[in-house]
Structure 1
Amino acid sequence: MNVFSHQIASPKKLIYMHVAQHGMTSKAELMPVSGMTSSSLTRLLDEMLTDKLLLTFQGQSSGGRKPILYDINPNYGYFFGLDISRRTSTLGFFDAKMNAKALMRWRMDEAMSPPELIDYVVRSIKSIMQDHHIERNQVIGIGVGAVGPLERGKGIISKPSDFPSPGWTHVPICSLLEEKTGIPARLENGANAALIGEHWSMRSENLQHMLYVHAGVGLRSAMMSDGHIVHGSVDMEGAVGQMVIQMDGPRLHDRGNYGAWEAFASVQALVKRARADAKSGRTDIPGAAHISPERITYDMLLHGLHAGSAYAQEIFTQSAVHFGIGLANLINVLHPETIILGGTLINSNELFYQTAVDTAQRNTYYYPDYVPSFTKGILREDAVAIGSALLIWKDLAM
């Protein structure tokens, strides 16, 4: 049961995924999905009931015999989803219906090195399993969504930048987790995992072409076409932040492209600007009156924004405009039907989100004839953890 499969879906898996996506389903509704005869489908459903993949329920009668409805068994197996990000990380525990049985989140500070994170996650996994009376053989796997770049096939976090703790280079995250838990692990970049999670949460809308952009410490993006994640030849999710939006513009920390998107629209960009303004003598920067400019933090600026600081509103609004310009560039290239925006900046306040969306729409070619929808998503800060667990769930071998 703990073997991941990438083969063409079997009839059993087609039935399972259809029921999982649509909820309680009758045999009559499954007939066109299966492409099988009635007797063959009956045998397959009986087999899936015996294997405890499915459960049966009685439906409402419309005058005759009450129909038998099939639903997936939430206790068939369990899944962990781990989100490793720069500001916060999340561990989720889910049943086979992707119901969250446990969710925990923690701050990624200077002490949260790779060994510390591994130890913390392993202890948490063991504690969660004990609390829910779950045995090791009931857990299918651990999905990991992490900041890139990655060596995804090898389960390695390669060279991510800007973690508060040192040591986040060439971390074999999957093998470390497997060695300490005995549970198979699989790695995906966090933006892709978030999009997988949000796509699943919106499955009733049958969306096929989606763009996800995360604005936080850096900028990350993912794209889905025909319902499938678009993987490039390398997992460089943060590279979208290097899109040039102003030829003679600045760059972050003396690296990357001049005029790059992330130099205008990221947590780091806001902090860098506030520190520069403080050094130039500006006195209305929230929290900066009695500290050195280098000690100004994003949390100070965010607090000022919520408190009504004119300075904070100014720099967040300008950042949102730049974010919207870069977003329009992506939309003009990729033509998604739905754009999901997530991350610390998007959720800083409604002003940032709406300014970014308005700017993107004004700079989208063919607007207003082509008007993609914008949303903050349904899962939001839990999207990466849930999407990571879904990676394992979708690869159930049947």
Structure 2
Amino acid sequence: MLKKFEELTSPKAKNLKLLYSLVRKHGPIKINTLTELTGFKHVTCARLLDELVEEGLIHDSGIGKSSGGRKPLMYVVKPDAYYLVGVEITSLFTTVLLLDLTLHIVGMEKLKMDTACTGEHTLNFITRCVDELLVKNNIQKEKLLGIGIGMLDTFDPEKGTIQDPQSFPALGWNINIVEELERKNNTKVFLGNGTDLAALAEYRLNYWKETDNLIFVSSDIEIRCSAIFQGRLVRNNAAFGHTIIDIHGRRCTCGSYGCLQGYSSLTAIRNEVIRLLKRGKSSILQKEEIEEIDFHHILHAIEHKDPLCLEVVKDAAYYFGIALSNLIFMMRPEIVVFGGTLVPKPLFFEEAAKTALMRDTSRTVQINKSTSAYNIVAQGAGCMVLDYFTEEPLV
């Protein structure tokens, strides 16, 4: 039935979709609460819930508390009714996740991007992973709702192509990602902005019941942010990376001076590390050819607490924290979620959060690490598929 939600437009179908969405958000939830939220008569609500139960989309969690009589039914979504595939494609890694309807990760595959990873090679990898993950977990292909793709690089939504794949180590990205994957997998494929999808996944997974106002920020090759306000997605993306933090600072690729992008991105960190190495600073990276040092080398050195790289990361985090404090002051979110490649590494998150909180005089905002920094975009991509069938668009 979940697949039919897209096609059905009758009042009854809309009511079923609404109830499923509320159970998804508030579950475990009892029928009396659902009647209050929807305004449905008790008998109507009960009949619709029975239909969702019969279709295998929801079930009783069994955790209802009795006040002396019969325990009330507490409805939750049935996570294995269908499955989703969420994918993140970046110039560093391609991540493929098999997800259930609660966005729990059932299976995972990753591809380290190198000179062999052309567009065709990468899409073949994704298709192979979809088939293998379904077989490995004894899931029929008919239970796959669709595939969501999250991209941090700028893409053309109409052509389904990456607009400027210069950062990718291999050529061959002039390819319609959506059409190719739909043809190879015979299922719906959706393409979305990775930062927006990360914000969406954090909201759905962790904060849906707690708040409708949060900001998601990330520092990778570029710096981006997205926000959920009043439960709806506010697209901002690259604008945060071009916040001016030093009017006499470094020249940015955008042509301006002193942008955050030039201080706190992976690109900026790499450039600063190379500059210091050329000046004779000591580092475990000295054994590498300086001009061949890439992001993987930098991340490896940070993990091994290389003093030079940690010094650069600490400065980058300080500038990020200053920009983040300005963002908090302007947008007044209840929660800030911090994601991106640098978050699980030493120092960056701690220093940036400390700097931002020191400048936040209200002291009301929470700054939290992403629950799954390396998988959150792919989880959001899977969420995009489920939302297509069950939610009103967050736009």
> Normalization by structure 1: what TM-score?
0.87
1:244-393 aligned within 5 A: 244-251=244-251, 256-280=255-279, 282-288=280-286, 290-349=287-346, 351-363=347-359, 367-369=360-362, 371-393=364-386
Distance 2:354 2:338 in 1: 13
- Residue aligning to 2:387: 394
Distance 1:54 1:397 in 2: 13
Structure 2: runs of 5 or more not aligned: none
Please say which of residues 208-217 and 68-77 is displaced more in the overlay. Answer: 68-77
Question: Which of 148, 151, 156 is 1:146 aligned to?
Answer: 151
Distance 1:305 1:96 in 2: 36
1:202-217 aligned within 5 A: 202-203=206-207, 205-217=209-221
SS at match of 2:338: strand
- 8 Å CA contact retained: 2:90, 2:153: no
- 8 Å CA contact retained: 1:87, 1:217: no
One-letter amino acid of the counterpart of residue 268, structure 1: T
Q: 1:238 to 1:283 in 2, by over 3 A?
A: same
Task: Give the C-alpha shift of residue 231 in structure 1.
Answer: 3.2
Distance 2:85 2:121 in 1: 18
Task: Give the C-alpha shift of residue 18 in structure 1.
Answer: 1.8
Task: Give the C-alpha shift of residue 161 in structure 1.
Answer: 4.7
Distance 1:12 1:41 in 2: 9
Task: Give the C-alpha shift of residue 376 in structure 1.
Answer: 0.7
- 8 Å CA contact retained: 2:273, 2:308: no
SS at match of 1:223: strand
- Residue aligning to 2:242: 242
How many residue pairs are counted as aligned between the two chains? 386
Q: Does 1:67 align with 2:72?
A: yes
Question: Which of 172, 179, 188 is 1:175 aligned to?
Answer: 179
RMSD over aligned Cα atoms? 2.6
Give the share of equivalent positions with the same residue, in percent.
Answer: 26
Please say which of residues 60-69 and 42-51 is displaced more in the overlay. Answer: 60-69
SS at match of 1:141: strand
Please say which of residues 116-125 and 140-149 is displaced more in the overlay. Answer: 140-149
Runs of 4+ in 1 over 6 A off after TM superposition: 6-9
Structure 1: runs of 5 or more not aligned: none
Question: Which of 93, 96, 108 is 1:91 aligned to?
Answer: 96
The one-character-per-residue Cα deviations of 1:37-79 (angstroms, maximum 9, x if unpaired) are 1211122122222222222355454432233332222232211
- Residue aligning to 2:162: 157
> Normalization by structure 2: what TM-score?
0.88
The one-character-per-residue Cα deviations of 1:331-352 (angstroms, maximum 9, x if unpaired) are 2332222111111222221x22
- 8 Å CA contact retained: 2:5, 2:17: no
Distance 1:240 1:168 in 2: 27
Q: 1:220 to 1:166 in 2, by over 3 A?
A: farther
Please say which of residues 208-217 and 55-64 is displaced more in the overlay. Answer: 55-64
Distance 2:161 2:335 in 1: 31
Q: Does 1:22 align with 2:18?
A: no
Task: Give the C-alpha shift of residue 243 in structure 1.
Answer: 3.0
SS at match of 1:380: coil
- 8 Å CA contact retained: 1:86, 1:147: no
Task: Give the C-alpha shift of residue 219 in structure 1.
Answer: 1.3
The one-character-per-residue Cα deviations of 1:171-199 (angstroms, maximum 9, x if unpaired) are 42111110111110111100011111111
Distance 2:43 2:260 in 1: 59
Task: Give the C-alpha shift of residue 204 in structure 1.
Answer: 5.6
Task: Give the C-alpha shift of residue 118 in structure 1.
Answer: 0.3
Task: Give the C-alpha shift of residue 375 in structure 1.
Answer: 0.6
One-letter amino acid of the counterpart of residue 343, structure 1: G
One-letter amino acid of the counterpart of residue 241, structure 2: G
Distance 1:42 1:382 in 2: 38
